[in-house]
Structure 1
Amino acid sequence: MSLRILLMRFGIAAAGGALLAFAATTPAAGVEQEDPRESKQIVQGEVTARAGLILRSAPTRGSEVIRVARYGEIVDIYCRTVGQSVDGVRQWYLLVDGTWAWGSARYIEAFRTPVVCDA
């Protein structure tokens, strides 16, 4: 058997394994997923940034912008983590509003202390 045929068979087997792994971790269509806002761990907070708060894809100032939350907007906080410092504050909140975005705790007044995000 030639090296070319062996490599082709290996590639097909690897692709099949990757497809199988993807299918095993992807929920089937129509399967209901739990809405995190229905969880008792959700804490609300108010945006205090006068010009609005940039919400990001990761708890860093350089990550992708997801959206901007308005001043005074009430947001749902899923959990908190340590991230890049914003004006000396390293806490970031993961917000649940359909987009799952991070906002600096420096500009969100939480009504209660959110839980720590799972590692």
Structure 2
Amino acid sequence: MSRRSPLALFGLCLATGAVAALAAAGPATAEESVHNDYRGRVTAKSGLLLRDKPTRSSRVIGLARYGSIVHIFCKTRGGSVDGNNRWYLLSDGTWAWGSALYIDNIGPSPRWC
């Protein structure tokens, strides 16, 4: 089985909406692990709904609890949430999107997807 690059998998993900396909990439390379160093803290009091696409109308696939630390792979523009169109692709077990409005960065701002 051939191993696809992270960018190729991310493109597949955007094209098909199959965010879970990224998880099948296997162990992280040294380059990928640098991108997994982006972290944030969830600020949504009732928890942050995690979605399969960077829009409020997409399917909910998880929940990140208030105050929890999440690992951020990259950021992109998506559907607006209270005037903020930035979304983070989270890499905590399940690849899912969370609105950046409810995640405070810990350290540097994530790279663009």
Q: Are 1:116 and 2:112 an aligned pair?
A: yes
Equivalent residue, structure 2, for 1:96: 91
Equivalent residue, structure 1, for 2:33: 39
SS of 1:39's partner is helix
Q: What CA distance in whole angstroms lies between the structure 1 residues aligned with 2:74 and 2:85?
A: 14
Query: Alpha-carbon deviation of 1:34?
Result: 2.5
CA RMSD of aligned residues (A): 2.3
The amino acid of 1:90's aligned partner reads N
* Residue pair 1:78, 1:96 contacting (<8 A) in 2 also: yes
Query: Residues 104 and 39 from structure 1, CA distance in 2 versus in 1: closer, same or farther, beyond 3 angstroms?
Result: same
Query: Residues 36 and 71 from structure 1, CA distance in 2 versus in 1: closer, same or farther, beyond 3 angstroms?
Result: farther
Structure whose residues are more often strand by fraction: 2
SS of 1:68's partner is strand
TM-score of the aligned structures, taking structure 2 as reference length: 0.72
Equivalent residue, structure 1, for 2:56: 61
Equivalent residue, structure 2, for 1:107: 102
Unaligned runs of 5+ in 1: 1-22, 27-31
Q: What CA distance in whole angstroms lies between the structure 2 residues aligned with 1:114 and 1:24?
A: 28
Give percent identity, aligned residues only.
52
Larger radius of gyration: 1
Q: What CA distance in whole angstroms lies between the structure 1 residues aligned with 2:29 and 2:99?
A: 20
Q: What CA distance in whole angstroms lies between the structure 2 residues aligned with 1:101 and 1:75?
A: 11
Equivalent residue, structure 1, for 2:81: 86
Equivalent residue, structure 1, for 2:71: 76
SS of 1:40's partner is helix
Q: What CA distance in whole angstroms lies between the structure 2 residues aligned with 1:54 and 1:33?
A: 26
Query: Alpha-carbon deviation of 1:110?
Result: 1.2
How many residues align? The count is 90
The amino acid of 2:33's aligned partner reads S
TM-score of the aligned structures, taking structure 1 as reference length: 0.68
* Residue pair 1:36, 1:78 contacting (<8 A) in 2 also: no
